[in-house]
Amino acid sequence: MKSKVGKLLLILILSSTLAFLYGADDSLIIRSPYYGKSTTTVESISIKTPFVKQLGIESAPTLNPQERLLEAISNSNYPLTPGDLIELSFTEGSTRETVMLQVDSNYTLNIPTFGTVQGRGKSFQEISNEIVKLVLNYNAYALPSVTLKGTGSFLVTIKGEVNSTLYKSAWGLTRLASLITNATDKSSTRQVEVLSEEGKVATYDLYRALKEGDLTQNPLVKASDIINLKKADKVITISGEVGSPGVYQPMEGEKLGTIIERYAKGVLPSGEKDKILVRRYGNTENSSVDVIRVDKDQIDEFEVKDMDAIYVNQLAPLSRAITIEGAINVGSSITSSSSLNSSSRLYYQFFPGETLFEMLQSIANRFSSVSDLSSTYLLRKGQLIELDVQAILLGESKKEGSLTLLEGDRIVVPFNQLFVNVTGGVMRPGTFPYVPDKKASYYINLAGGFDISKNKKEAHTITDKYGNKLDLDEIIPPEAIITAKLNTFQAVNGINLATTVTIVGLVATILTIVLNIQKL
């Protein structure tokens, strides 16, 4: 029984000791914000990202008839569309005549008295000019005018790699991309086929249209068009330290280096360019998932396969670090508390070329009211450089703030102790808590006031923590020393008299002992 109790006590003691040791370890490693925060991982971007998210397609706003009419009138390239309503006005004799015309399914306009006009493949502006010319050929003084009064609409078929084949309503200014929001994540963004009413097939690359600005690849649709979405040949993901993480469909023959530059907008300065990770499914018999490391000299020849996940690691800062120690908060929760339990140290991994000002900005929230920012100093290769951190952060000390950080730099932040010392001819000399905006009389009163047996005329001096003498009516700073002078006879001579009496008594005692020994 005693053995079990002893073991239990030993375990408790060891647990307490370990908890103390780990709790006391206040060291912290901070990485410069210039390395960036990698919030993406190999798994964070899904290969099943919907088609519309791959391209950033947004659903076209639904316009009412009046809004569509205004948009068509303001667009000089508005194509004539079945169902469009056109008003023709002209003078016949002394009468102003008005005729309403509507475009039929064959893009034909039948104009009473004047004949017909064929509008297939023409803009409203072109057909308007033809109508005016036709009327003038009949009557040179007719003063014809043509006005668009309403826009038509039509149906377009979408099939292939879609959730379901369907018909969608469109009008003259509807573009291809806005109609395929129901495409699956396997639909090809690079080979979208459009079969026209005339039986012609055209293929469009929506990636080039929406991501690279080639608007010829996102045409206006026409009545009776059939849009066929094919299955993508290759879908990959790119994540990590790149300019534009996402899901992409590279073209046949494009290598890894080209893919990263063209689609992901290159590796960020914070990314590791020397080794690119590629996660690949089913590459070997023994593994369902392989991770391939592609070196810098292989990247331009590496062949990417369907469903590859490409990941660029964050650049490791290696040993480029400085230490900041003293009155600095390294706790897991940074607060505005004015108290720090003890001196702490943190390691700051800086970005090449980073300045002292930039570093201080990133850790400014770790200083507290007990951090003596005006007395901070930098130790560099045996040299001590004084720093006024507060002035640097305020932009008032640009010379020191522009110093470039060097590996091995050590920055020391002293404690600004919040107390005031009162010594000398007072009733209760001692150390008292610092209170802002108080003068010497406040702290002297805390010390019980002047001791009139030791101090006359309330004579006293004040020095700051650097030993500089302060005026008697100044506000007392932290760590100041208030000294009440010992300027009375008792204070000055009382000590000497007591010392003399003590020495005389000691000498007399020694002589008595010596005489007694001689008698023996």
d(CA 256, CA 297): 11
pLDDT number for residue 500: 53
| β-pair partners for 88 | 99, 146
Q: Average pLDDT of 74-100? A: 93
Identify whether residues 213 and 259 lie together within a single domain. no
Residues 216 and 194 in one domain: yes
What are residue 192's phi and psi, to 5 degrees? -100, 115
Residue 68, CA distances (Å) to 119, 171, 173, 272 in order: 20, 9, 9, 51
Report the distance separating Cα 370 and Cα 377, nearest Å: 16
Q: How many domains does the chain have?
A: 5
Q: Does residue 501 carry a pLDDT above 70?
A: no
Residue predicted with more confidence, 25 or 456: 456
Question: Residue 8: pLDDT above 50?
Answer: no
Both tokens of 180, joined, read 């395929």
Residue 488 near residue 453, CB atoms below 8 Å: yes
Specify the range with the lowest mean pLDDT, choosing from 5-14, 143-152, 361-370, 408-417.
5-14
> pLDDT tier at 37 (50, 70, 90 boundaries)?
low
Confidence of residue 275 (pLDDT cuts 50, 70, 90): confident
- Rounded distance, CA 228 to CA 178, Å? 14
Residue 518 lies in a domain: no
CATH of the domain at 167: 3.10.560.10
Tell me the mean pLDDT in the region 157-183: 90
Chain center to CA of 373: 28
Q: How high is the pLDDT of residue 40?
A: 45
pLDDT at 359: 92
Whole-number pLDDT of residue 7: 41
Domain co-membership, 350 together with 427: no
Of residues 276, 206, 188, 190, the one with CA closest to residue 239: 276
pLDDT confidence bin for 35, thresholds 50/70/90: confident
pLDDT at 319: 61
Q: Which of 398, 413, 428 is the last residue of a domain?
A: 413
Judged on CB neighbours under 10 Å (0-12, 13-18, 19+), 319 is exposed
Poorest-pLDDT segment among 38-47, 170-179, 222-231 = 38-47
Give me the helices (H) in 139-237, please: 206-211
* 90 and 208, same domain (yes or no): no
Q: Are residues 56 and 174 in the same domain?
A: yes
Q: Are residues 425 and 402 in the same domain?
A: no
The answer to the question of residue 17 being in a domain is no
CATH number at residue 380: 3.10.560
Mean pLDDT of 58-64: 76
* Closest to 80 measured CA to CA, from 111, 119, 106: 119
Whether 169 is in a domain gets the answer: yes
- What pLDDT is attached to residue 267? 92
**Cα distances (angstroms) measured from residue 73 to each of 41, 44, 76, 306, 350:** 49, 46, 7, 46, 59
Q: Are 57 and 177 contained in the same domain?
A: yes
Classified as helix, coil or strand, 323 is strand
- Predicted confidence band of residue 397 (pLDDT cuts 50, 70, 90): confident
DSSP-derived letter for residue 35 is G
Are residues 350 and 434 located together in one domain of the fold? no
Q: So what's the pLDDT on residue 379?
A: 94
- What are the DSSP E strand ranges found in 387-488? 410-413, 419-424, 430-433, 460-463, 469-470, 481-484
Domain extent at residue 141:
82-150
Question: Does residue 15 have a pLDDT over 50?
Answer: no
**pLDDT > 60? residue 495:** no
**146 shares a domain with 110:** yes
In a domain, 407, yes or no: yes
Span 493-508, average pLDDT: 58
Q: Tell me which amino acid residue 27 is.
A: S
Q: Name which of 38-47, 184-193, 217-226, 259-268 the model is least confident about.
A: 38-47
The SS3 assignment for 44 reads coil
Q: What angle do CA 459, 465, 466 make, to 5 degrees?
A: 105
Helices (H) and strands (E) in the chain, counts: 11, 26
Share of the chain above pLDDT 70, in %: 83
Same domain, 241 and 222: no
Residue 24 lies in a domain: no
Mean pLDDT of the chain: 84
pLDDT at 200 over 90: yes
Q: What is the pLDDT of residue 491?
A: 74
Distance CA 61, CA 68 (A): 11
Residues 277-297 as b/e (b if ≥16 CB within 10 A, e otherwise) read bbbbeebeeeeeeeeeebeee
Q: For residue 26, is pLDDT > 50?
A: no
Encoded amino acid at 459, one letter = A
Read off the DSSP letter of residue 464.
-
Q: How far apart are CA 299 and CA 465, in angstroms?
A: 62
168 pLDDT more than 50:
yes
Q: Please choose, from the candidates 222, 172, 173, the residue with its C-alpha nearest in 3D space to the C-alpha of residue 202.
A: 222
Residue 19 lies in a domain: no
Which residues fall within 8 angstroms of residue 259, CB to CB, at 6 or more apart?
Answer: 236, 238, 248, 250, 304, 310
Has residue 277 got a pLDDT over 80?
yes
Identity of the amino acid at 25: D
Q: Which residue has the higher pLDDT, 382 or 34?
A: 382
Q: How many CB atoms lie within 10 A of CB 20?
A: 9
Residue 503 binned pLDDT confidence (cut-offs 50, 70, 90): low
| CATH number of the domain encompassing residue 103 | 3.30.1950.10
Parallel, antiparallel, or unpaired: how do β-strands 85-92 and 145-150 relate?
antiparallel
Whole-number pLDDT of residue 36: 63
- Look at the block and give the residue holding tokens 């391209």: 55
Together in a domain, 161 and 142: no
Tokens 């990314």 -> residue:
271
Residues 6+ apart with CB under 8 A from 56: 210, 211
The percent helix, strand, coil of the chain (3-state, each to 5) is 25, 30, 45
Residue at a domain's end among 262, 297, 314? 314
Residue 508 lies in a domain: no
CA distance 147 to 168: 28
Are 334 and 404 contained in the same domain? yes
Structure tokens at 353: 């070329």
Residue 6 inside a domain? The answer is: no
Mean pLDDT of 76-94: 93
Least confident residue range of 2-6, 41-45, 512-516: 2-6
Q: What is the dihedral of CA 295, 301, 305, 310, to 10 degrees?
A: 30
Confidence of residue 515 (pLDDT cuts 50, 70, 90): low
Over residues 248-264, the pLDDT tens digits come to: 999 999 999 999 999 99
Name the least confident of 255-269, 315-329, 393-407, 504-518.
504-518
Domain boundary among 314, 347, 370: 314
Q: Which residue has the tokens 């798994």?
A: 43
User: Which pLDDT value is given to residue 19?
Assistant: 36
